[in-house]
């Protein structure tokens, strides 16, 4: 393992384009041995897509990792498509892929939006889940979404500052391509500023624009969840091994959501990472996530 606590770079063992219905085609990668411990990797966003660096979180000698670009995200097609794109659709896709690959069950690993999707999936298909590892917890509540978007107000005229996300969504999802481009870049740069990344410049590519479109689609609809749905559903999964890894200085998904989840699920292992932020690939978070995966490999019923 390298100094950044990640495993060496690796290439996928196989790459598939899988049609899942409604005109959606998912980009699906597999890494590691075919007889390894199955792990489902769920990217953030929503709409973020999987990165090559994400593969480096998993021991290539132990885990059979399945990485899926969710509907409309990353390399999935059609890029940025919002039709038949809800949390329930994404959950159904995950189990479709599991069955298509002949995997009886898997460990589910997800961060940020991926932690929300991990909980939603496990609560519908608990028999398919050996255990969960979640980091940078996001529960999709209206309060979380409002808090995250609060800083957008200064980028808008005074009349629109009370409901900034609605104003951004109207522009990004509207019929004017130039306005959509400009506003999507503002939105993505707002996110990048929160995590200390340099702003994007120039015209957005298809994946970047898709990310902004999908985020507006989900965040303005409270992620297609009933209020309190994920916390109420813990009773269905409290018997599963679980680890909650939370950067205690996370500016995107502050610790309050993770602490709320742990209170509702005290059986889950609680791993606070002091002074760490949102990025699972940062050394402190990567070390905690890799350790959690090692523990899960030992205790999950696989």
Asked if 24 is an active-site residue, the reply is no
DSSP codes, the chain: --TTS-PPP---SEEEEEEEETTEEEEEEEES-TTSEEEEEE-STTTT---GGGGGGS-TTTEEEEEEEPTTSTT-BSTT--TT-SHHHHHHHHHHHHHHTT-S-EEEEEEEHHHHHHHHHHHH-GGGEEEEEEEEE----HHHHHHHHGGGGGGS-GGGTTSHHHHHHHHHTSS-HHHHHHHHHHHHHHHHHHTTPPPP-SS--HHHHHHHHHHHHHHTTGGG--TTHHHHGGGGTTTS-EEEEEETT-SSS-HHHHHHHHHH-TTSEEEEETT--S-TTSHHHHHHHHHHHHHHHHHS--
Given the residues 69, 93, 250, 279, the one annotated as active site: 250
Instruction: Retrieve residue 262's tokens.
Output: 């742990």
Cβ 222 vs Cβ 145: under 8 Å: yes
Given the residues 79, 112, 115, 128, the one annotated as active site: 112
Asked if 3 is an active-site residue, the reply is no
Given the residues 5, 141, 278, 279, the one annotated as active site: 278
Asked if 278 is an active-site residue, the reply is yes
Active site positions, annotated: 112, 250, 278
């Amino acid at each position: 393992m390298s100094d950044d606590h990640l495993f060496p770079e690796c290439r996928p063992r196989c790459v598939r384009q899988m049609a899942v219905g409604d005109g959606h085609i998912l980009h699906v990668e597999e890494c590691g041995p075919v007889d390894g411990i199955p792990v489902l990797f769920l990217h953030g966003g929503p709409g973020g897509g999987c990165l090559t660096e994400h593969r480096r979180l998993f021991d290539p000698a132990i885990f059979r990792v399945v990485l899926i670009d969710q509907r409309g995200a990353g390399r999935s097609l059609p890029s940025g498509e919002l039709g038949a794109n809800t949390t329930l659709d994404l959950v159904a896709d995950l189990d479709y892929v599991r069955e298509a690959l002949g995997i009886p069950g898997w460990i589910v690993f997800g961060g940020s939006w991926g932690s929300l999707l991990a909980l939603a999936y496990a609560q519908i298909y608990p028999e398919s889940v050996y255990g969960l590892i979640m980091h940078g917890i996001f529960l999709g509540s209206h309060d979380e979404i409002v808090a995250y978007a609060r800083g957008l107000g200064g980028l808008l005229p005074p009349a629109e500052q009370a409901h900034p996300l609605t104003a951004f969504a109207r522009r990004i999802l509207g019929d004017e391509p130039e306005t959509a481009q400009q506003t999507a870049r503002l939105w993505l740069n707002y996110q990048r500023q929160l995590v200390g990344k340099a702003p994007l410049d120039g015209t957005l590519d298809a994946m970047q624009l898709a990310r902004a479109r999908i985020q507006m689609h989900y965040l303005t609809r409270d992620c297609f969840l009933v209020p309190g749905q994920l916390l109420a559903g813990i009773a269905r999964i409290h018997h599963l091994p679980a680890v909650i890894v939370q950067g205690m200085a996370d500016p995107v998904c502050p610790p309050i959501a993770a602490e709320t989840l742990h209170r509702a699920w005290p059986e889950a292992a609680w791993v606070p990472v002091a002074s760490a932020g949102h990025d699972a690939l940062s050394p402190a978070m990567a070390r905690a996530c890799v350790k959690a995966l090692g523990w899960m490999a030992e205790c999950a019923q696989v």
